[in-house]
Structures are given as structure tokens and as C-alpha cells.
Structure 1
Amino acid sequence: MPQQRRRKLKRLRKAKKQAPPMEKPKLVKTHLRDMIILPEMVGSMVGVYNGKTFNQVEIKAEMIGHYLGELFITYKPVKHGRPGIGATHSSGFIPLK
């Protein structure tokens, strides 16, 4: 396992150990979107960077084997507005004013 991922796992373990009983551990921020979720990460709070902000997620058992990057998209989905003037062929014959 690469050094970055080992360091991140160490930080997650430390945050879980320092958390009081029956409380969520401290948030651990990361840019490692290509990190696979392992069983020892379950119950941790992770902030995954999407290119603009850190999105907070609590790791659950169903997420094991998935990548951290799968949890949040990196782009804003396109919402198309109304068509503008000249958007169709027939609008060439309609006077604009």
C-alpha cells in the first residue's frame, strides 16, 4: 500500500481512538479520491475533496470495496434552460422585433 494511503489510515485510526464512546470521530479531510474503502475505515468521518469543497461522509459497511471518489461527483450536472432566439431553423423567418 502506498505511503499516502497508510498515513491516511493511521489518521483515521487515531481519530476513531480519540473519539469519546458513542460519538462520531473527528473529520479527516482527504484528496485521495482513488482510495478504496477498507473494513477498518467503517465508522470514520471522511471529508472527500471534489475539486472545490470537502464533502463530509460517514463510512458505512455497505461502502466497503468502493472508491471514496464514487461518493461525490466532481461536476455540477447541466440544467438546460429555455432555447434562445435563433435556436431553430424556423425562427429565421420570424421577425425579431
Structure 2
Amino acid sequence: MAKKIIAGSAKASRRKSRKKASAIQARRKKEFLYRGYNMEQLLAMPFDEFLTLLPSRARRTYLKGLNYEQQLVFDKLMTAEDVVRTHRKDLPIIPQFVGKTVSIYNGKEFKDIEIKPEMIGCFLGEFVMTRKPPVHSGPGVGATRSSKFMPLK
């Protein structure tokens, strides 16, 4: 009776299993952490304790107290369910603002920004471009007499 030959050796099967294990798996979404705390911990944390985690400029803004306009925007963001329109760009983002949409004026129009966890500690104005980047034409075309003779590539 002829023996049945098993395809592949033990070494080949180990190699195959290693290759299978090292293959790219579906990427898991990384849990958001802000200075070692997740979102649930940040939301449960008292405001005074959270302030110690903020960068100094944002922390000082809240410690010295918000001015009248900042306070209005802060109160609207805390209670609003829909889009909040504002001209104030100097309000630091806190965890209670995450998931809300703010429409910020950039000098010409209102830009809608959805606040994400990665924005905590930053100011609202950091996410709205107030200047348009310059758009240049070709390099030196017509600028000087020598630019007439551009090499063709």
C-alpha cells in the first residue's frame, strides 16, 4: 500500500503560520488619551482638576476669568445642541465641547468646525484659516528678459 505524501514539511508549515501571523490585520481604533486620561475620566473630573492638565496659556485664560463675550460663547457651547456661531477665536476647548459643531468667523465667512477630542487644550481660532495662502504662477515667467529663455523639460 502506497503511503500518502503530505504536502510541505513541518518547517514550511511553521513558516506559513509566521507569515499569516505577521500579515496586516484590521486596524483597531486607538483609544483617545489626553495626558493619560480617557474621555470618560476627563468628563467626570472636576473642572479645577482638569485645568491643571491644560497648557499654560489655556489654563490662564480660565483662571483669570472669561470676559463677557467669551462667557456667552462658553455658555452657549455648554447647553447648545445645534451649531453655535461666533466671532470669538480665543476660547480654549474643554472636554465638554467635544462632539459639538461651532461656526467660527474667519474674517470673510463662517467656517463649520466639529470639535474632536484631539482639539482639547487648543483654541477655537487654531482651526480656522484667516489668511489665504498665496498662489504663484510659473517660475519667473515674464519677470525679466532672461526668463524668456526657460529650458523646456
User: What range describes the TM-score normalised by the shorter chain of this pair?
Assistant: 0.7 to 0.9
Pairwise mapping of residues 66-77 of structure 1 onto structure 2 (< 5 A)? 66-77=122-133
Q: Establish whether residue 39 from structure 1 lines up as the match of residue 95 from structure 2.
A: yes
Q: Point out the structure with max Rg over C-alpha.
A: 2
> Using the alignment, how far apart are the partners of 1:91 and 1:81 within structure 2?
13
Larger RCO (CA under 8 A, 6+ residues apart): 1
Q: Is the CA contact (8 Å cut-off) linking 2:141 and 2:147 kept in structure 1? A: no
Q: Which secondary structure state, in structure 1, belongs to the residue aligned with residue 70 of structure 2?
A: helix
TM-score normalized by the length of structure 1: 0.73
Percent identity, aligned pairs only? 41
| Residue in structure 1 matching 2:107, options 30, 38, 51 | 51
Q: Which secondary structure state, in structure 1, belongs to the residue aligned with residue 102 of structure 2?
A: strand
State the Cα deviation string for residues 65-90 of structure 1 (Å, max 9, x = none): 111111021111111012342x1353
> Using the alignment, how far apart are the partners of 1:74 and 1:55 within structure 2?
10
CA root-mean-square deviation? 1.8
Q: Which residue number in structure 1 is paired with residue 69 of structure 2?
A: 4
TM-score normalized by the length of structure 2: 0.49
> Using the alignment, how far apart are the partners of 1:63 and 1:52 within structure 2?
23
Q: Establish whether residue 14 from structure 1 lines up as the match of residue 79 from structure 2.
A: yes
Q: Which secondary structure state, in structure 2, belongs to the residue aligned with residue 4 of structure 1?
A: helix
Unaligned runs of 5+ in 2: 1-65, 149-153
> Using the alignment, how far apart are the partners of 1:63 and 1:71 within structure 2?
9
Unaligned runs of 5+ in 1: 16-24, 93-97
In the TM superposition, residue 30 of structure 1 has moved relative to its aligned partner by 0.8
Question: Which structure has the highest strand share of the two?
Answer: 1
Q: Which residue number in structure 2 is paired with residue 79 of structure 1?
A: 135
